[in-house]
Chain A
Amino acid sequence: MHNKTLAELSAALQQSEVSSEELTRHLLQRIQSLDGKLNALVTVTEEHALAQARQADALRQAGNAGPMTGLPLIHKDIFCTDGVKTSCGSKMLDNFIAPYDATIVAKCKAAGMVMLGKSNMDEFAMGSSNETSFYGPVHNPWDLDAVPGGSSGGSAAAVAARLSPVATGTDTGGSIRQPAALCGVTGLKPTYGRVSRYGMIAFASSLDQAGPMTRSAEDAAMMLNVMAGFDERDSTSVEKAVPDYTQTLNDSLKGLKIGLPKEYFGEGMDQAVIDVINTAIKQYQELGAEVIEISLPNFALAVPAYYVVAPAECSSNLSRFDGVRFGYRCENPKDLQDFYERSRGEGFGAEVKRRIMIGTYALSAGYYDAYYLKAQKLRRLISDDFHKAFEQVDVIMSATAPTVAFKLGEKTDDPVTMYLSDINTIAVNLAGLPGMSIPAGFVNGLPVGLQIIGNYFDEQRLLNVAHQYQQVTQWHQQSPQDFA
């Protein structure tokens, strides 16, 4: 039952082959017996899940069930969940019981979905390996000594290990796509503004975007149908009609123009990973697509620009954690200054502190032009490169990450090396474009992700392109041996 996709489970529920309560109990049982090896969940909401499942079954009995009613999911612990701990992977929020639901959480509830729990993540979504979490690292189900990627590492590992057919994630510089690649699942980062950020704990507000992590493109389409849409509570939410993303999955790829940016196939990329990607591209040509070499000349500047924009915005956003209204508060402060400094110093982990300090420095008097303004100008150049490319092509493809999953502890001593593991994903966030990662093969038994980048609000095409590949390949159906 746990190997079924969301679409298959939806059919099974509709045909009464299984009840939502049975499905929920089965997955809760799996979480209980298997998550000890993975550490993918911070909180398991058993009672909550069973209550929601019974409610879903009652709705179905009464003939009021929709396509998502009774389907289980896990939310990344960055989304506020009313009455349930929302830690964001931090000691700062270890005691935080969210007083309201994030918009996407409310939407999933309204669709009748059942929340199994909250997934582990890098602290405040800052990391590429899930090793900065206050709750310890998540282990990759394909190799328990390897990282799952980050920051949505718990969500990726949970979906790969069949603990849930779907989990939500967020992506500021690759945090959905990179762990999806490293764990062999399908991940979609929508266009900036497509999915509401209300109730999603902010890291870098001009980059953050929520999306689904699933085992197929079809499932991602079903989830995006639930998650997407205008929200007046998010000032950057875009007022634009939401199509039914499942309707265009079967469109033909004949004549599709795929751009291959030469910069993404050069230095720093593992050749074995590139070989897997080239094989996938050939498969697309067999499906009728045309391949065009393109150039995104400012590619190498994306990581430097990102490490100004993201820390600057994080230093502002995280100033709200002051120990006064919620979250961690230090013991016996001697005065107000000591109170702030120790509450924050003790509540935040090392990587979060580093980023707050870089951001504080970049925004301090006299440095604004050299750092933040300069980075915003580079952001324009990076974005213009994509605009030009999309005059020529429909989608852009590359590897999602330069290598397969690396070992736990391998990059923790050197933040800059860790940052460069997001080199292929970061530019997409700076430009605000949608991007996906889908499983495309293996290197040394570890999954490789193919990144597909689309034009603004072209999620329909991304999902169509991913789905067509999944109709002729089986990579997305592979499951890690110990979690089959």
Chain B
Amino acid sequence: MALSKEDVVNIAHLARLAIDAKDIPEYEKNLSNILALVEQMSQVDTTQVEPMAHPLDAVQRLRPDEVTETDQREHFQSIAPATENGLYLVPKVIE
């Protein structure tokens, strides 16, 4: 499937990626080529095949609902770009 310029812009928006306008043709071409590769999948009939989500078909392991981690907020926030009073700072969301 060949992607259009609009497709590329839309996907970049869904992925929250700023893309330079001058790079869009390159993405159009490369992403379309990758999708053409991927489309070889349709050569095989898989109607009766069970999808495989995990190599060992394992199920999620459960543990008792107990607190096992200590609070390390200051340690983890020491590498944050901007914090104040233990909160992460981002641009104003609500006017």
Contacts and interface: CB of A to CB of B under 8 A. Distances in A.
B50 A380 contact: yes
Interface residues on A, range: 35 or more
A375 B90 contact: no
Contacts of B44: 298, 301, 378, 381
A353 B50 contact: no
A235 B43 CA distance: 35
Interface string B8-44: 1001111111110001000100110111111111111
A378 B17 contact: no
B68 to A, nearest CB: 9
A131 to B, nearest CB: 15
A350 B24 CA distance: 12
A415 B49 CA distance: 30
Contact of B38 (A319, A336, A371): A371
A23 interface: no
A206 interface: yes
User: Nearest 3 pairs between A and B by C-beta?
Assistant: A432-B55, A345-B18, A376-B51
Interface string B49-73: 1111111101011010000000010
B81 to A, nearest CB: 4
Given A298-B44, A345-B19, A348-B17, A97 B58 contact: no
Given A380-B51, A381-B44, A358 B81 contact: no
A377 B51 contact: yes
B11 A307 contact: no
B55 A192 contact: yes
Interface string A167-201: 00000000000000000000000001100000000
Interface of B: 3, 7-8, 11-19, 23, 27, 30-31, 33-44, 46, 49-56, 58, 60-61, 63, 72, 75-82, 88, 90-93
A232 B66 CA distance: 14
Given A356-B17, A357-B31, A360-B11, A336 B52 contact: no
A354 interface: yes
A364 B18 CA distance: 18
A99 B72 contact: yes
A97 B33 contact: no
A8 interface: no
Nearest to A348: B17
Interface stretch (A39-47, A150-158, A324-332, A444-452): A324-332
A414 interface: yes
A377 B17 contact: no
Contact of B34 (A329, A333, A415): A415
A419 B18 contact: no
Nearest to B15: A360
A325 B80 CA distance: 5
A125 B58 CA distance: 25
